[in-house]
Amino acid sequence: MEQFRLPQIPMPKLPLPAAVQNVLAEAEERLKHRPKLLRLFKNCFPNTLETTTKLLDDGTTFVITGDIPASWLRDSVEQVIHYVPLAKEDADLQRIISGLIRRHVAYILVDPYANAFNEKANDWHWNATDGTEMSPWVWERKFEIDSLCFSMRLAYRYWKETGRADVFDADFKKAIRTVVDLFKTEQRHFERSPYRFTRDNGILHDTLLNDGLGMPVNYTGMVWSGFRSSDDACDFHYNVPGNMFAVVALRHMQEFAEWVFRDMDLLAELKRLEIEIDTGIKRYGIYRHPEFGPIYAYETDGFGNYCLMDDAGTPGLMSIPYLGYTSAEDPIYVNTRRFALSKENPFYYEGKAARGIGSPHTPPDYVWHMALSMQGLTASTAKEKLEMIAMLEATDADTGFMHEGFHVDDPAVFTRKWFAWSNSLFSQLVYQAMKDGLLDG
């Protein structure tokens, strides 16, 4: 992301909830034979709470990304998701996470097409001259299908882990209605959508062509998306991992409809929409690769054109099992993973210090720490998980934190020294490995 020109929001340092302190104490004992990894974990695990989280007087929670004074729906969920399993018996974590869910609901009701929001209606924007319908609440209005899915993911995980249903109020149900209506509209983007986006900054991946409508697409049942999880414009506007995430989110919403709201008509509507999108993925989102066999495409337009790549952001092809769409043993996913970790993926890089997936969002030969963490989280063997942890440990440039992208030959050359999502994803991987006994001395 380009450097913003607005002042930082002062974020008060929250006292760490007891459950988080307990995890750090556990790490002190279990990682004491690996002092550098222990230091990284102790820095990264609480980083979101210590530097990016603000409890507001209205009972909601505002979470900035780090070095940008705005809250991304996607990023803020992934910044706190590793705390959710700790929240069942911790009232402080419940306050933080439920407050974030409520703030997401409010943002979705303001503008479901926006990807990032302000703390207040202060009219701060990434680019004040964007050609789209802006609100004073909206920092950026790039429509990314995954943003809405992440909001549902957090609510679902919180509900399942804590058993608490206090966030499921009338506004939450309105947010479900808003998401469903938007998905239906964007299944037929050119016929029905009011959404347009242009940005005149000379950067092609920051704008949509065709007067802000994007490139033509065929009806597939999938949901159109303007931008990827990297905030870069799609080449072909059916982002396959994003639509997989939509399928998962619709399954979550079906449980909300059935067990919380007892609305059987809504349940049936959600099920129909899930089937339409999933059918589109299976009919249009699979590419028969001459080397790897059937693989999931990254994007398609429904006309037979495909974007074959993977990006470090989530959702991406690597993260399909992490999102819950299918298992890591799914044969098509196995093929796709081999493709993504090969030089057939134009954004896979190898160098003296690292090998892994980067992004068109950063320069060539930059691997992302998030991609390495996701590779570890979705790995089917302990050996690969440990390899990823070792690579992450070795490439922090002795800063004690994770970054966005770094050069494969020199980890000291990196982007974004304060990027909380990357710290949280790394923490997730290390904590999972620690609980599984993989890091015991």
What predicted TM-score, i.e. pTM, was given to this entire model? 0.96
Q: 348 — phi, psi (to 5°)?
A: -100, 130
Q: Tokens 């999938």 appear where?
A: 222
Among the listed residues 94, 116, 101, 110, the one whose alpha carbon sits nearest the alpha carbon of residue 1: 116
Among the listed residues 370, 368, 333, 373, the one whose alpha carbon sits nearest the alpha carbon of residue 349: 368
**10: DSSP letter:** P
Does domain 18-435 bear CATH number 1.50.10.10? yes
Distances (CA, A) of 205 to 72, 134, 197, 227, 372: 19, 20, 12, 9, 24
Length of the chain in residues, anyone?
441
pLDDT tens across the length of the chain (441 residues): 333 444 556 677 789 999 999 999 999 999 999 999 999 999 999 999 999 999 999 999 999 998 899 999 999 999 999 999 999 999 999 999 999 999 999 999 999 999 999 999 999 999 999 999 999 999 999 999 999 999 999 999 999 999 999 999 999 999 999 999 999 999 999 999 999 999 999 889 999 999 999 999 999 999 999 999 999 999 999 999 999 999 999 999 999 999 999 999 999 999 999 999 999 999 999 999 999 999 999 999 999 999 999 999 999 999 999 999 999 999 999 999 999 999 999 999 999 999 999 999 999 999 999 999 999 999 999 999 999 999 999 999 999 999 999 999 999 999 988 899 999 999 999 999 999 999 997
Asked if 60 contacts 106 with a C-beta cutoff of 8 angstroms, the reply is: yes
Where do the structural domains in the chain lie, given as residue ranges? Answer: 18-435
DSSP letter for each residue of 315-331: SSSTTHHHHTSS-TT-H
